[in-house]
Chains A and B, each alone.
Chain A
């Protein structure tokens, strides 16, 4: 009986412990230095595969270990799992010390209070805030608050075009305005070929494109207080303009309405589609058998033809940031690791490998990022990209509006009319599902 009682008491204790850790959540106090010799790092899947990422990062982590004596345990997490993994880690308090986050999640994750805020003091520890490009830092958290993360890899949208298809259709230079883009697209769209590609089923992509168009219409999806304003005239016009590329102008193939696995890039590489709006597509094109001279990159069109700020915005600030879990057991080591990964040398090396742009100014100046397509991305980031709304319910916004746009694509593809009213009705519904 004594054994049984002991066993049941142990089981009960275990049960209580599990439940307690399950609902107690992570401590909200800052990290400590209890285990200064190890770190766990969740890297997002950046390269062609998880294995490739491990091969790229492992030598760098070894370098870091040699410099500091801190061993970094690496786990590469696929994109589709990353946000759920972070949420689980946040609610249980059992997470990595350092992790990658998508920069559009910054404000949402900042609101959980689980990430270390990068105030002046913490930025000093990694060489100062001034080392980073402003727009990249602006996309790392809510305005007026210390950022929730530090920029690591930066990306922006460009217009990629197929040189041969342009030549065949008699289009001389890449379009700089939307009118030129539609005109070029109409020349190309015949005989099974299409002017422009889209990813109608990809909610994030829908958001990125309509956000930029909304900026060009002088509209935002949120007001200053963070309240949703999805149905403003500018926002409605932006969404309609995007869908009309298929519904009205007929330069996007109807099949693109269901694309969500980057099929539009495959179509581009196969010569079925002449243009795509994409972030750093070079490595994908190469993997699909295109030679660098087959395609060109130009800034995404703007109304005036010259990209800039405000109504001439032509990209969202895309990228990956590096965050530190507040309850890390090795706060000093975590900061050292962030400093290492954002050092000029590592920035050059890693961004070169991944085809992204360093958010660190000194590294960005390196000639490796002067190739024509990367120069477009770099200039876009520097002058004409704007961060997505940094609001805590950004994730809800992406789902609600991204889905509305997805349904509108389905309407357009099925030949149902897409009108200002139907766009407004979808956005109205999206707005009403936003709680808080």
Chain B
């Protein structure tokens, strides 16, 4: 790269002549491309549209979001938000002042989100793994089961979650009908959409929605494990559990690394599930951070504070992802050696 940049034009000309035989056609269509661009810059040129779109779709909005987080952006300024006063880190100090109600609520929603993510991802991964392993052997009806298992993944989120919301209704919902009326497990019908049980309802819906993706990924991962390994193992006398522990899980490690990261990011940021389940104001026990930020920005019109919270969330997710990638890649290098 540096070599092409520093070569003098005469050498360039000669190489140009030299290569012109092979690419004469291309040369005629684009007559004036200097060779060093053609050799070193072409890949960048080809990347340009993608870079521009990435800028347009991700980077610029992100920068705007960051700029907004330093401004006092309320209803008084949204029609001309360039005029919103610059207030430095005030929005951030409001967001992280954990003794005041706004910061306290943000911290609370952060912890709720961590608990929610841990259990959602954990169960989704567990069910996905179990189902993928169980459906690995071919048997009658496997295709149908696979299709059924993927239904939650294929359904539109809104339709699926609103159905859950109906099922969780206290007086007319299916959940209480089964738990209370039919099985008699609870003394009286429980609330699922308000109060302390809301977090359970949220995790159940999230796991139901998330595990088919784990299932799909792991099924694909299982296809890549050579059958010979299992045959050899069983000849050596390894039982099914030993096979799963010694062959299946280690072989799925690369898939799991990506899968858990993706599930973590999706679940931590999930907005649709709580919003459809609880509306714009979630119960305290299920007040996820995404809803909390939405509320700060769009319901109470404090776009500046909302942006600051978003930036903090972004930083947190970046750090977690970086640490995770560092740890897992180091582990892999160790394994390779």
Contact = CB atoms under 8 A, between A and B. Distances in A.
Interface residues of A, number: 54
A432 B94 contact: no
B250 interface: no
A395 interface: yes
Interface string B66-80: 000000001110111
Interface residues of B, number: 46
Contact of B170 (A255, A393, A409): A255
B266 interface: no
B75 A111 contact: yes
B194 A406 contact: yes
A11 B300 contact: no
B9 interface: no
Contact of A112 (B56, B78, B102, B299): B78
Contacts of A1: 30, 32-33, 37
Contact of B60 (A19, A87, A111, A400): A19
A392 B80 CA distance: 17
Interface stretch (A20-28, A223-231, A298-306): A20-28
Given A203-B281, A399-B281, A15 B169 contact: no
A90 B105 contact: no
Interface stretch (B44-52, B137-145, B313-321): B44-52
Nearest to B279: A260
B101 A432 contact: yes
Contact of B301 (A2, A23, A108): A108
A114 B79 contact: yes
Contact of A23 (B81, B169, B283): B81
A409 B301 contact: no
B269 interface: no
A8 interface: yes
B302 interface: yes
A201 interface: yes
Given A114-B79, A392-B76, A413 B301 contact: no
B270 interface: no
B79 A93 contact: yes
A22 B79 contact: no
Interface in B99-147: 100-102, 105
Interface string B274-289: 0000011101100000
A258 B170 contact: yes
A258 B76 contact: no
A358 interface: no
Contacts of A409: 194
A111 B76 contact: yes
Interface string B286-315: 000000000100111110010000000000
B155 interface: no
A395 B300 CA distance: 6
A210 to B, nearest CB: 15
A376 interface: no
A209 interface: no
A111 B56 CA distance: 31
Residue among B30, B105, B193, B300 with most chain A CB within 10 A: B300
A344 interface: no
A378 to B, nearest CB: 32
A407 B278 CA distance: 13
Contacts of B300: 393, 395-396, 399-400, 433, 435
A12 B298 contact: no
B299 A436 contact: no
A405 to B, nearest CB: 10
Interface string A197-224: 0001101000000000000000000000
B171 interface: yes
Contact of A392 (B45, B75, B82, B305): B75
A367 B194 CA distance: 45
A92 B283 CA distance: 33
Contacts of A395: 75, 299-301
Contacts of B94: 435
B281 A24 contact: no
Nearest to B281: A403
A249 to B, nearest CB: 20
Contacts of A253: 171
Nearest to A200: B194
A84 B275 CA distance: 15
Contacts of B37: 1
A40 to B, nearest CB: 18
A91 interface: yes
Given A90-B79, A108-B75, A432-B101, A410 B283 contact: yes
Summarize A's interface: helix, strand, loop or mixed.
helix
A258 B169 contact: yes
Nearest to B67: A23
Nearest to A397: B300
Contacts of B169: 258
Given A112-B78, A392-B75, A15 B55 contact: yes
A258 B100 CA distance: 28
A390 B45 CA distance: 56
Q: Select the residue from A4, A203, A435 with max chain B CB neighbours within 10 A.
A: A435
A388 to B, nearest CB: 16
B79 A399 contact: no
B79 A435 contact: no
A402 interface: yes
A43 interface: no
A259 to B, nearest CB: 9
Interface string A396-422: 100110110011011001100000000
Interface of A: 1-2, 4, 8, 11-12, 15, 18-19, 22-26, 28, 84, 87, 90-91, 93, 108-109, 111-114, 200-201, 203, 253-255, 257-258, 260, 392-393, 395-396, 399-400, 402-403, 406-407, 409-410, 413-414, 429, 432-433, 435-436
Interface of B: 30, 32-33, 37, 45, 48-49, 52, 55-56, 60, 64, 74-76, 78-82, 94, 100-102, 105, 169-171, 189, 191, 193-196, 279-281, 283-284, 295, 298-302, 305
* Minimum-distance CB pairs A-B, first 9: A432-B101, A396-B300, A114-B79, A410-B194, A255-B171, A25-B80, A410-B195, A403-B281, A91-B78
28 contacts: A1-B37, A4-B48, A8-B48, A11-B49, A15-B55, A24-B82, A25-B78, A28-B79, A87-B298, A90-B78, A91-B78, A91-B81, A108-B75, A112-B75, A114-B79, A201-B194, A203-B280, A203-B281, A396-B299, A406-B281, A407-B283, A410-B191, A433-B101, A433-B102, A433-B105, A433-B300, A435-B300, A436-B74
Given A23-B82, A24-B80, 18 more contacts: A8-B49, A11-B49, A11-B52, A15-B55, A23-B64, A25-B79, A25-B81, A84-B298, A111-B76, A113-B80, A200-B194, A201-B279, A258-B169, A402-B281, A413-B195, A414-B196, A432-B102, A433-B102
